[in-house]
Structure 1
Amino acid sequence: MRITLKIYLALLLFATTNSVIAQEQLETVVQRGHALAVRTVCFSPDGKFLASGSEDKTIKIWEFSSGRELKTLNGHQSHINQVLFTSDGKQVVSASRDRHIYFWDVNTGVILKTFHYPDESIVSIALTSDDKLLAIGTTERIVRIIDLDTDSILYSLKANVGQYGAHVIFSDDDKLLAVGEDNRTSKVYDVSTGELINTVTEKYGSCGGCDTKSVFLSNNELIKGSNGSPLAIRNLSLDTAFNFVEDSEERVDALRLSQDKSRLIVVDEDSAVMFDVNTRQQLFKLDQRLVPTNPKYGLNMLNQVAERRSDQFNDAAFSPDGKWIVTGDNSNLITIWDAKTGEKASVFYGYLSFPPDDGLNFDPNDYWTSFVWGLVALKNDVQISPDGKYAFRAKVGYEARKWELATGKIVQTYFGHSKGVITFKLSKDGKYLLTGSADRTAKLWDVETGEELKTFKGHRSFIYHVDFSHDQTKIVTSSDYGTIKVWDIESGELLKTIVLSDDPKTIKVGYTVKFSPNDLYLMVAYSHGEMKMLEIDTGREFMEYIGHTATTADFEFLGNGREVVSTSWDKSLRLWDIATGMQVRKFNGHTDPVHAVALNSAGTKMASGGTDRRVILWDIATGKILKEFIGHKSIITAVEFTPDEKYLISSTIDGITKVWDLESKQEVITHFSIGHKDWLVTTPQGYFNGTGDAQKQVFFVKGLESYTLDRFFDKYYNPDQIKRAFELGGKGSQKQGLLQRLNEFPAPEVEITTPRQGDVVSKSTIEVLAKIKNAGGGLQSVSLLHNGKVVERKEEAYFSKLEKNKSIFQKFNIDLVPGLNSINVSATNKENIESRSSQVLVNYKSEAEKSICYVLAIGINEYQNPAMNLNYAYADAAAFSKLIKTVSEPLFSKVEVHKIFNRDATKANILGILDILAQKITSNDVFYLYYAGHGTMVEEEFYFVPTENTRLYSPEKLKKDGISASYLQQKLMKIPALKQLLLIDACQSGGSVELLATRGAKEEKAMAQLSRSAGIHVLSAAGSEQFATEYAEIGHGVFTYVLLEALEGKADGAPKDGMVSIYELKSYIENLVPEYSQKFKGQVQYPYTFSKGQDFPVSVIK
């Protein structure tokens, strides 16, 4: 079973079927990355794309310039050994250990052609330059040459292979084929005849298990490498050798030549080394240690640093132009290197590339722990509250999470476990949540308040499953140590411990455990495949249910109390008579293991999901398939009906939850849970909402063209439309989707013509010239960003007159800062759809001078209307202004603090000081604006409320006496500082809960818009329905309390270098504000955090 599980679970994510895409689609793609080791990499012929193959059984297509994951190709049943592009770049060919070779359409992800050899694991493949012949190397003693015009075997060659199989490669002119065999031998064949021309081997000794890699330097020269022999250039006619390296102890994993044949990259078990082919000297060795990428390369990715858990490379490839090397490794990462210097330029990855933050540290590549790792990975449930309004999930760090189903917004988090939450159960009445953790405890929570009510301790290992009894007086917990414990909820007393195996050498694990309908028995699905009913008092077996031939993953009792339905890795579901143990019915339809099942309230229908990524709706009485719901890209681990049975919920192993209209089968919304704090929700029409960081990890993709969500922000970042889509369900209009808008109104095309990428300049001011083309959607505005900050936006009258496919040139002047300067130009069309940004990096050679830090702190306790007075806004602003001066002084030549408090904080005074600062501040300086006081959302606009405003919700008064976020954005754009941070601890009161909830969604968009439009960092306390609550216990609003803690040094952590940066500050606030607000108030408050622009330090820890 362990071997079977490991093969299945090279798991993670992805399955077997591949449906044909019949029409053009706009896919929503999340940056998942590979979940297991990257075994093979290659460039497309034009160098624009990368293909990678992994032990997670997937092939991924990446955009090289941005590092975006464009496509995941699912179909293989085992890990991928090699991927190749065809010469026209339109297809990818993959070879797998599962004995299949697939030809994929890169644009659609459709399998076009399949070769299957049941008795042979495919090790390597090679294509001729005209794509007419395919060579296949296997673990058996045979190499096949396939005619791709007829898909028939042209001829076969015998090969002496060991466990690593035969490795094949064609010469550049396609006339020769080299076959790498065991015993340090390569054989060269005439492709046209299959005749053996030459055998290149070692003269002395033999070496079993020494497989050979080779590559043609010319038709007369072969570079050959193997463990136990020199890495050398072998002359085929003279039988001479020119060594790079004397006898190598390490097995060679890959030999790759640059297109001009001047450089060779050699990948072995421990290293990747670059050689000069002419001199045979080592040029450099690639460094796998944790080092940051160099931003000078301008290769974009989600983060600049990625942690490695293994230094083993598996493959490498040169870009067609020879400028770059790409490697794949055992840390699940793809790294881009400068081929001239060996410097790390970029890392491509996603949120699945790193091990889960659960405290277990199981290695999926280890024989023993991979079994447990796989079982834990598949424990990824989602449950719906009895009122149908909320969804719950675990597997988000050390906590569980509750979100509003209609909006996707997180409304409660359950903190308290010291390791990851593996499993959970919602009580029947929806009042309590039970969680089981890797910290070996179970906890009971108040669902509404998030309060921890009770902890159940006693297990010696982590907990796989928890359940409530039907009368809600007891709970059951099952652990990896092979014990099941039954507890009294009220007292917390342990009532019974059941040991599942009498043999101490054999641990049997209760993977899923539930109370029987009468609460007198436990139904147990064992990790190794059995399903049994146990009597609780004695712990003895009452009944075994025999029929499944692989692990039983899930089961549900029917409402009649007499039957139970189970799912299994044997691809079936089965209905059982509880009392007799007899099978009533078998349900066949899934093509891969089934992991989840849910029943409707009447017990007449059930939904199931599993590895084949399909949700199937069944008629229980007949066993017939009623409907299928297609759209998931990875293993489905949870399914559930909403209480009104209007919707069907399905969730996957990688944290993606879909809401389906049960009647129409239409996808209504998709919720992405990314990491332990980020989330995003989208609709099929293209509307989206979510955290700022999540928005950076999700893209729209049409074919191989990708679009960041940011490009559609103005129209499609719309929380109200998300809720509307949920309310309308399948009746929602699909006609005005984003794809139609993109086709009707293409975004402008932008190219910076001067300066050029990598220019080094000595002048502080340069001219930027950009070419902007109307691609069909018109032209509305052009924006210039400097180091991420918007410094100029032009909306000229003549833009609207620009004809389709015509271009204009737009000129800007920009003041550079010493060092590297990132310059971006983008444009929007008349539908407010933004172009792809054009970027160049320019290095200004000048002595770096210490900048000045300007601080404006505003705190308003006292309003002209006494009813609006606050308690701690003044204290918050005063404490911030004092602390920021102290902790930031070491970073700057001077810290200049301006304070406006209480009755002095009028609109005129606030705007006046902003105008004065705009004249003083330079682009090299830093500006912080802190505001504590009232803020309010009226008529789609957020207002900061100065002291003279007497009414929070009067549009007339706010327009007269308030400061709108859009007006503040204009003021901030005029302040030259490229590094700006806006901190807002604003609150509002009054109004119904419903009204405040509506304002909250709009306020969140206003904060995001402010960050995006000005190109600055915005960290804000939640207003509206959550309030920026003040607490007498701590003397501050909770947002400012956490902010002060962070600046004092508690946010220093990644890396721990004695300083706190913007992103460390942001992360600390995101993590601690919810926890502290719950601790002090019993109600979770989530801050708004949006970042545009570069990271920079804000405090130094003394």
Structure 2
Amino acid sequence: MKTRFPLLFLLCLLLAGPFTPAQAQDSPRLVIDTGGHQAKIKDVLFTPDGKRLISVSNDKTIRIWDVQSGEPVRTLRGQMGEGDEGKLYAGALSPDGRWLAVGGMLADNPHDGSAIRLMDLQGPADAPVRLLQGHTNVVLSLAFSPDGGRLLSGSGDNTARLWDVESGKALAVLRGHTDHIYAVAFSPDGGRLVTGSDDDTLRLWAAPGRSGTRARLVAELTGHTDDVSAAAFTPDGNHLLSGSWDKTIRLWDGREGGFIKELADIGYWAGSLSVSPDGKKVLVSCGGGGCSSNPEKVFSLPSGKRLLRFDRHDNIVLATAISPDGRLAATGGGGDHEIILWDLATGKVRHTLVGKGSPIWSVGFARDGGGLAWGNENTQYVFFDKGPLQHRFQLRRAGLSADRKGAALESGAPSRTALESGAPSRAAPEGGAPGSAALQGGISGNGAAFDPGWGGPVEGEGPMNRHYLRAIETVGATRIRTANGQVHPTLEILENGQVRHRITLGPTDGYDHRSLTLTPDGRTVISGKMGGVLTSYDVASGKKLREFTGHTGDVWAVAPSPDGRWLVSGSADQTARLWEIETGRPLLTIFAANDNEWVAWTPEGYYTASLNGGRLIGWHMNQGEERLARYYPAERFAKQFRQPRVVAHYLATGGDLERAIALANQEAPRQGRVKKTTATDLLALAPPMVTILEPNDSPFTTGQSRLDLIAEARSVNQEPVKEIWVTVNGRNPGQQGERYPRDKRRRVRLDVKLALDPGENRVAVYAKNRHGQSEPEMLTVNRAEPRPDPDRPNLYLLAVGVSDYANPYYRDLDYADDDARAMARILRGQQGRLYGRVSARLLTDKQADRGGVLDGLDWLLRESTKRDVSVIFVAGHGQNDGRGGYYFLPHDVEPGKLRRTGVKWIEFQDTLEQLPGTRWLLADTCHSGGVTGKPSPTGRGEADITEALRELKEAVGGVVIMAAAGSREWSLEDPRWRHGAFTKALVEGLEEGLADFPPPDRRVDIKELDLYITQRVKELTGGRQHPMTEIPRMAPNFPVALVGAR
């Protein structure tokens, strides 16, 4: 038997250590939210109307998606703990769409076994969760009866149970299987049940009645020669299909269980089966055994003729579903844990539902101790070298190796000025560790050298670089390997070519060795394993030293620091983590999204991040097993926990939080002092919970011009609700919300009439207490317009570009003025097309003095109306004042007189807050997106616009922000482009129409433009510049240009 579920309930308990009651574990914990799944997807389920898709995953989340748009609608989280507690392995939806059942590792102690959670999807968001308890091991499969009144569950305890949904009582326990039950199903009339097991058999049962009759075994179905992984009845109930790890699909009599035929030899282990509503097709997925070359397949029933191959996934797929109308298939799996919606007849992809991360296959530690690197490609198929290093993360400061001028890259290839490529080496480094003091703990004042953050692409040819230390295979006479040189349960430690120790794993300690390294002194070996298990062993004795607890997915890569004190690891959970080897203590977790947003955090929750990186993590707050958990993006508590200098000093002091805060406070102005906050403190700070009571459907279409909205805000702690308010398409619709005095009001209501715009309206309701505001509760309303409005909106543009500064001190830009001219030309070209009138105020060089810029902002406020689009484009230098303020530098700025001669960023922020209508900011201020602590191209001063943009998006809702470069990057310009890379991409995307992605519709919307700019700037600069964009959830997608011939 192949072990599909190696980390059983026993492993969950062993790794968790001594039992602690759940109520003692309810301190909030930071978790990643990439917008998609991060671990195996176990089930996908269409709602009865086909409008929603529900996905259930090992990552402990349930996600609900809109089928038409592919957009996420809602994420459900339940009680969870460290390690495996809370992992989901099965899901089922009642035929009426009301009840969602999920099962998995849901026990909180070794006595209760594993519960099934039953959630009412049609009830209020905070409705209780019902628990069905009785299984003594993990629940692996679930199915509702056709009438929705009964639920069938299969478990790792080798039994199946039949439950009454209304009462929650077990109607029957089905015994007889001798191994885990991964497949259960009801016949269409509810009279038959089937169970499929890892004992290679299926069992067909006569369902018991509610009057107390027992389930009766009709037949034992034998013939498969390996685990039975899937089973499904045809809609008429006449046939039963089964899928197995023996790589076959078998067809059986659905009423008596007789074998009919082998329907197909599929060439891989069957992962999941779905039968179309008309009973003419069966979809089977690859659950292992060569999925990269054997895609999902569709067969005709009952002939077994292959109709279609679907090859868009690159790894195992354990979840399939077919829509109620039989047109769409949903398959969940692959290396990125994606869900693909595709046409069942043609294989054409409709949507790919996927998060922003990717598994990490390779890691390295900079030999100077200054940073880490990792890669997301598995290309080498060599145990110690699975793929190239692609991305850098800086731990301490280093000088930039390029300036904005002369940044052209030949043929788009990355520059190799700072690093030289070299031959890979898996031997220990010779001599000392250059710069190894970078992470020495307890060195007072060393935090000034630290500046943790994104470092850009790894430069240098080849999969490895001599400036990075990878996994060490050999130190002197000591060598490590697995028994077969690949992933294997046995690790061998050799001395002078002879095996000295063998360490063989089982289902309770990681199952197999997936990555290995020696420490540079050859005394310790570290092994990464399945399921997030990471362990160190003593080379001399072969005994286990300690566990490194934190990863939740297979650990595919490990590498030590040159001094042997620290370890970096990379995992299928899409994170890289920094550890202290001697103690196993975590120091830093890093997640980098594929859109170049990133976040890094300490175990206590203090973090540093890119512009939108705070959205990638959040605080999970358990509410007990009978309630859904609450979740707050980390941005909600940014005031307490977004502390880059604390993170820097935390690394410098080797993880001493108290000292890190004290050192950060010595550097900070009084108003910026950090007060120590623990995760438990967040329970008292949490903002109110918002619920929209009426209307209770979203999205929906109306012919009315006004909407009656009733919403409620409820305090979740002792803090009273201070205010509740609503926005439409990111704008305040006129009323200023209901404000409440600081009294004992814990539950308040908002009842308003809202004016709707023609077309899509995104309505968002917020509430706040004195500590912060909630996430928006949203609904989408489409207002049908009986007659199209012939009047186009007007557009107002303020375009500012300064290259020729009055003071030579700042004259090192060539094309900022040309960038502003290009933006004005592009948008003026839309007059009479997308917009009725385009009014542009262009300020370049001498025109762009301080007074001119401020006058331009006033002009925008005077002219723009609710129907219009307002655009601000700024290109030139920016500078911080050392007190948390940021300034745009106009033509007449004077060194040393920033406050009097610069334009403070708050001027732009205030203007955007007051502007009605659609608002769009484009910022290219030389360090756009952030280069904290780096010298400007002139070598004078610092410029970091990140905090200014962050404050803008938090203070002013609904503004689309585009920043020219990512964190720690130059905003590059080149004589060949006669523009900055950012504006070059804007010209191509809007003026040349290259952002009109297939299928072309001769218009470019903001999301298309964002995608084109992101891809094109990366291409133009050889991966050295990555624009960042903020498109608020509450703002609808909108067109920015019509392209092609008039």
TM tier, smaller: 0.5 to 0.7
The equivalent of 1:731 in structure 2 is 656
CA contact (8 A) 2:870 2:917 kept: yes
Matched, 1:944 2:888: yes
Deviations 1:426-456 (A, max 9, x none): 99x97436699xxxxxxxxxx999897768x
**In the alignment, does 2:828 pair up with 1:885?**
yes
The counterpart of 2:796, out of the listed 848, 854, 858, is 854
- Hey, what does 1:651 align to over in structure 2? 570
Match of 2:31 among 25, 28, 40: 28
Which residue in the other structure is 2:294 paired with? Answer: none
Contact 2:845 2:891 in 1 (8 A): yes
Contact 2:341–2:352 (CA under 8 A) maintained in structure 1: yes
Return closer, same or farther for 1:679/1:1097 CA change in 2, 3 Å cut-off: same
User: Quick check: 2:390–2:458 contact (8 Å CA) kept in 1?
Assistant: no
- Kept in 2: contact 1:52–1:60 (CA 8 A): yes
Aligned-pair identity (%) = 18
> Hey, what does 1:572 align to over in structure 2?
490
Residues 631/109 of structure 1: CA separation in 2 closer, same or farther (3 Å cut): farther
Match of 2:666 in 1: none
Partner in structure 1 of residue 775 of structure 2? 836
Choose which of 469, 474, 496 in structure 2 pairs with 1:557: 474
Counterparts of 1:13 and 1:787 in 2: how far apart (Å)?
48
How far the C-alpha of 1:830 sits from its partner, in A, is 2.0
Q: Identify if the C-alpha distance between structure 1 residues 947 and 625 changes in structure 2 by more than 3 Å, giving closer, same or farther.
A: same
- Shift in CA distance, 124/1088, structure 1 to aligned 2, threshold 3 Å: closer
Per-residue deviation, 1:892: 2.4
- Partners of 2:399 and 2:998 lie apart in 1 by 25
Q: Could you tell me which amino acid in structure 2 is paired with residue 557 of structure 1? A: T
More contact order relative to length (CA 8 Å, sep ≥ 6): 2
Offset of residue 657 of structure 1:
0.6
Q: SS at 2:877's partner residue?
A: strand
Identify the residue that residue 925 of structure 1 maps to in structure 2: 868
Q: Give the distance between the partners of 2:515 and 2:317, measured in 1 at CA.
A: 36
The gaps in structure 1 that reach 5 residues or longer are 96-100, 202-208, 217-221, 237-246, 257-263, 273-287, 290-305, 338-343, 357-376, 437-446, 456-464, 473-513, 515-553
Whole-angstrom distance in 2 between the partners of 1:114 and 1:661: 39
- Match of 1:835, SS state, is coil
Match of 1:386 in 2: 367
The whole-number CA distance in structure 2 between the counterparts of 1:27 and 1:595 is 26
Q: Does 1:682 align with 2:601?
A: yes
Per-residue CA deviations over 1:181-239 (Å, capped at 9, x if unaligned) read 9999974556845475999x9xxxxxxx9x985699xxxxx9655589xx9xx999xxx
AA matched with 1:635? D
SS in 2 for 1:68: strand
Q: Which residue number corresponds to residue 1006 of structure 1?
A: 948
Indicate the SS of the match to 1:976. coil
Cα distance in 2, alignment partners of residues 661 and 80 from structure 1: 33
Cα offset, 1:744, TM superposition: 1.4
> How far apart, in 2, do the equivalents of 1:609 and 1:835 lie?
39
Q: CA deviation at 1:822?
A: 0.6
Matches within 5 A, 1:269-284: 269=282
More strand by share: 1
Give the aligned partner of residue 742 of structure 2. 801
**What is aligned with 2:429?**
none
Q: Does 1:978 align with 2:918?
A: yes
Quick one: structure 1 residues 867 and 94, their matched pair in 2 at CA, closer, same or farther if it must change by over 3 Å?
closer
- 2:541 alignment counterpart: 622
State the shift of 1:62 in Å. Answer: 3.4
CA distance in 1, matches of 2:378, 2:610: 17
Distance 1:34 1:114, change over 3 A: farther
Q: Is the 8 A contact 1:38 1:334 kept in 2?
A: no
Contact kept? 1:137, 1:168, Cα under 8 Å: no
1:786 to 728, 733, 737: 728
Residue 186 of structure 1 contacts residue 214 of structure 1 at CA under 8 Å; is this kept in 2?
no
Q: 1:235 to 1:584 in 2, by over 3 A?
A: closer
Distance 2:187 2:571 in 1: 42
Deviation (angstroms), 1:386: 0.9
In structure 2, the CA distance between the partners of 1:125 and 1:770, relative to structure 1 (3 Å rule), is closer
Give yes or no for the alignment of 1:872 onto 2:825: no
Instruction: Give the direction of change, closer, same or farther, for the CA distance of 1:723–1:431 in structure 2 (3 Å limit).
Output: farther
Q: Following the alignment from structure 2 to structure 1, what is the Cα–Cα distance between the partners of residues 679 and 943?
A: 25
- Give runs of aligned pairs for residues 988-999 of structure 1, distance below 5 A: 993=934
Structure 1 residues 602, 223: CA separation in 2 closer, same or farther (over 3 Å shift)?
A: closer
Q: Structure 1: how far apart are the matches of 2:921 and 2:976?
A: 28
CA distance in 1, matches of 2:617, 2:887: 30
User: Is the alpha carbon distance of 1:14 and 1:400 closer, same or farther for their aligned partners in structure 2, counting shifts above 3 Å?
Assistant: farther
SS across alignment from 2:876: strand
Instruction: Give yes or no for contact 2:972–2:980 (8 Å, CA) kept in 1.
Output: yes
Q: Give the Å deviation of 1:755.
A: 6.3
Partner of 1:702: 621
Offset of 1:615 from its aligned partner?
Answer: 1.9
Q: Distance in 1 between matches of 2:749 and 2:73?
A: 26
Larger Rg: 1
Indicate the SS of the match to 2:368: coil
Which of the numbers 503, 519, 531 marks the counterpart of 1:587? 503
Farther off after superposition, 783-792 or 307-316: 307-316
1:634 counterpart (546, 553, 564): 553
Q: 1:29-71 CA distances to partner (integer Å, 9 max, x unpaired)?
A: 3345276675564999xx9995636xxx777533678443747
| Equivalent position of 1:61 in the other structure | 62
Q: For 1:680, what is the secondary structure of its paired residue?
A: strand
8 Å CA contact 1:67–1:348 kept in 2: the answer is: no
**Does the aligned pair in 1 maintain the 2:502–2:542 contact within 8 Å?**
yes
What displacement does 1:1017 show? 1.8
Cα RMSD of the aligned pairs, angstroms, is 6.4
Cα displacement (A) at 1:385: 0.6
1:998/1:167 CA distance change after superposition, 3 Å: farther
Corresponding residue number in structure 2 for 1:1045:
988
CA pair 605-1027 structure 1, distance change in 2 beyond 3 A: same
> Number of aligned pairs?
862
> Are 2:557 and 2:571, in contact at CA under 8 Å, matched by a contact in 1?
yes
Secondary structure (helix, strand or coil) at the match of 2:993 reads: helix
Match of 1:502 in 2: none
Partner of 1:441: none
Q: Name the aligned partner's letter for residue 749 of structure 1.
A: M
Contact 2:712 2:747 (C-alpha < 8 Å) held by counterparts:
no
C-alpha distance in 1, partners of 2:353/2:885?
Answer: 38
Aligned pairs for 1:330-349 within 5 A:
349=354
Q: 1:92 aligns with which of 99, 103, 109?
A: 103
Please give the per-residue CA displacement for 1:901-954, whole angstroms capped at 9, x wherever unaligned.
333334444333433433433333322211122322222122223334323x54
Distance in 1, Cα, partners of 2:527 & 2:408: 31
Q: Runs of 5+ in structure 2 lacking a partner?
A: 66-71, 107-111, 119-128, 222-227, 243-250, 257-262, 286-306, 343-348, 380-387, 426-453, 623-628, 662-674
CA distance in 2, matches of 1:1025, 1:349: 27
In the alignment, structure 1 residue 1067 sits paired with structure 2 residue 1011: yes
Superimposed CA distance per residue, residues 511-534 of structure 1 (whole angstroms, 9 cap, x where no aligned partner): xxx9xxxxxxxxxxxxxxxxxxxx
- CA deviation map 1:975-1030 (0-9, x unaligned): 21225243434469999847999987952122233234332122223499755455
Given the superposition, is the C-alpha separation of residues 131 and 636 from structure 1 closer, same or farther in structure 2, using an over 3 Å criterion? Answer: farther
TM-score norm. by structure 2 comes to 0.66
Aligned residue number for residue 430 of structure 2:
none
Distance 1:105-1:1019 versus aligned 2 partners, 3 A rule: same
CA displacement, residues 127-146 of structure 1 (integer Å, 9 cap, x when unaligned): 9999999765999xx98669
Question: Are positions 1:103 and 2:21 aligned together?
Answer: no
Is the contact between residue 151 and residue 163 of structure 2 (CA under 8 Å) also seen in structure 1? Answer: yes
Match of 2:300 in 1: none
